[in-house]
A and B are shown apart, each in its own frame.
Chain A
Amino acid sequence: DAKTTQPTSMDCAEGRAANLPCNHSTISGNEYVYWYRQIHSQGPQYIIHGLKNNETNEMASLIITEDRKSSTLILPHATLRDTAVYYCIVFSGGSNYKLTFGKGTLLTVNP
Chain B
Amino acid sequence: KAGVTQTPRYLIKTRGQQVTLSCSPISGHRSVSWYQQTPGQGLQFLFEYFSETQRNKGNFPGRFSGRQFSNSRSEMNVSTLELGDSALYLCASSLDYNEQFFGPGTRLTVL
A-side residues, CB < 8 A to B, are 34, 36, 41-46, 49, 87, 93-103
Q: Which 5 A/B pairs are nearest by Cβ-Cβ distance?
A: A43-B102, A101-B43, A93-B97, A98-B45, A46-B99
Q: Of residues A93, A99, A103, which shows the largest number of chain B Cβ atoms within 10 Å of its Cβ?
A: A99
Min CB gap B93→A, angstroms: 11
**Contact B45 A42, beta carbon cutoff 8 Å:** no
Give me 26 A-to-B residue pairs in the complex whose CB atoms sit less than 8 angstroms apart, sorted by A's number.
A34-B99, A41-B88, A41-B107, A42-B105, A43-B90, A43-B102, A43-B104, A43-B105, A45-B102, A46-B100, A46-B102, A49-B99, A87-B43, A94-B97, A97-B31, A97-B33, A97-B48, A97-B55, A97-B56, A97-B97, A98-B33, A99-B35, A99-B43, A99-B45, A99-B100, A101-B43
Min CB gap A91→B, angstroms: 9
Residues of B within 8 A of A98 (CB): 33, 45, 48, 56, 58
B-side residues, CB < 8 A to A, are 4, 31, 33, 35, 42-45, 48, 55-56, 58, 88, 90, 92, 97, 99-105, 107
Min CB gap B69→A, angstroms: 19
Residues of B within 8 A of A36 (CB): 102
Beyond A43-B90, A44-B92, A97-B33, 20 additional contacts (C-beta under 8 Å) are A42-B105, A43-B104, A44-B90, A46-B99, A49-B99, A87-B43, A93-B97, A96-B56, A97-B31, A97-B56, A97-B97, A98-B33, A98-B48, A99-B33, A99-B35, A99-B100, A101-B42, A101-B44, A102-B42, A103-B42
Residues of A within 8 A of B107 (CB): 41
A5–B20 alpha-carbon span in the complex (Å): 35
Min CB gap B34→A, angstroms: 10
Residues of B within 8 A of A99 (CB): 33, 35, 43, 45, 92, 100
Q: Of residues A34, A97, A101, which shows the largest number of chain B Cβ atoms within 10 Å of its Cβ?
A: A97
Residues of A within 8 A of B90 (CB): 43-44
Residues of A within 8 A of B48 (CB): 97-98
Point out the residue from A41, A44, A96 that lies within 8 Å of B43, measured CB to CB. Answer: A44
